[in-house]
Amino acid sequence: MKKNVGFIGLGIMGKPMAKNILKAGYPLVVYSRSPGPVEEIVKLGAISANSPKQVAERSKVIITMLPDSMDVKEVILGENGIIHGAKPKSVVIDMSSINPLVTKEIERVLREKEIEMLDAPVSGGEAGAIKASLAIMVGGKKEVFEDCLEILKSMGKNIVHVGPIGAGGFVKLVNQIIVALNIAAIGEAFSLGVKAGIDPNLTFQAIRGGLAGSQILEAKLPMIFERNFKPGFKVKLHKKDLNNALCVARDLGVPLPISGFVQQIFNSLMAEGKGEEDHCSLVTFYEKISGVEIRLK
């Protein structure tokens, strides 16, 4: 018999992830601050709850997919939070991208109530969430991970247990640094090519099969060419992730000079009101200072 699953946070990523859990045949209870996505998921067979506490009361495994550390902390530990409804031996899986030090703090409080926790952030964007092809990096007890693996498989393909609680969050920060710096490299390099008068699509075709080819190039360059900045992952959220990376790096004594520079570019985009755009709009910073536009001719 499949476990009852709760899902809290039905945004760009959370809604398709919840749909895929339903498709896999799990009984699902949902809660989100916005009523629209809840109504949509309920029509597909889920049950709605009026608080995170009520989700926990009705679920064996409770998944959270929320914007930032404070949202996760409030939903799990706050008034009417998960901790007040979850039974001993139930499992909280936080799939948000948050500061792993906050994750460890939350886990310590849950442990006192005999509630298990995994941190399982994802990579793959909205497209990966829709296709159930997300990469999922999981921290926590190995036996808890194995017990929840089938649920995770309903949302992703490349699922790796990377270590104890908080390890998932640290690996996600590594991922987010690599993604941000790659998008910045695309903006910088293609601005040079366009300024030199070279068709950017021909540049793309020439390099995509070589060492410069990557999933990021394949996913984001067509969006840039089409000037499509509809968010799969928002500027403001990637800015938050880089900020978390810089904070924990400072605590660990690890210099991140290039990440710091790209963070300043994200700050510039936020000041221009681009926080809701896809993070590939980072290239517009390079376009602006170079006097070019990376688009199809």
The three-state secondary structure class of 230 is coil
Distance in angstroms (rounded) separating the CA atoms of residues 218 and 230: 16
Q: Is 297 a catalytic residue?
A: no
184 contacts: CB under 8 Å, gap ≥ 6: 262, 265, 282, 286
Q: How far apart are the first and last CA of the chain?
A: 56
Read off the tokens for 91: 């499992």
Read off the tokens for 148: 């929840």
The single residue of 53, 172, 240, 274 carrying the catalytic annotation is 172
Distance in angstroms (rounded) separating the CA atoms of residues 241 and 248: 11
Q: Strand pairing partners for 30?
A: 7, 48
**For residues 214 and 260, is the Cβ–Cβ distance under 8 A?**
no
Residues annotated as catalytic are: 172
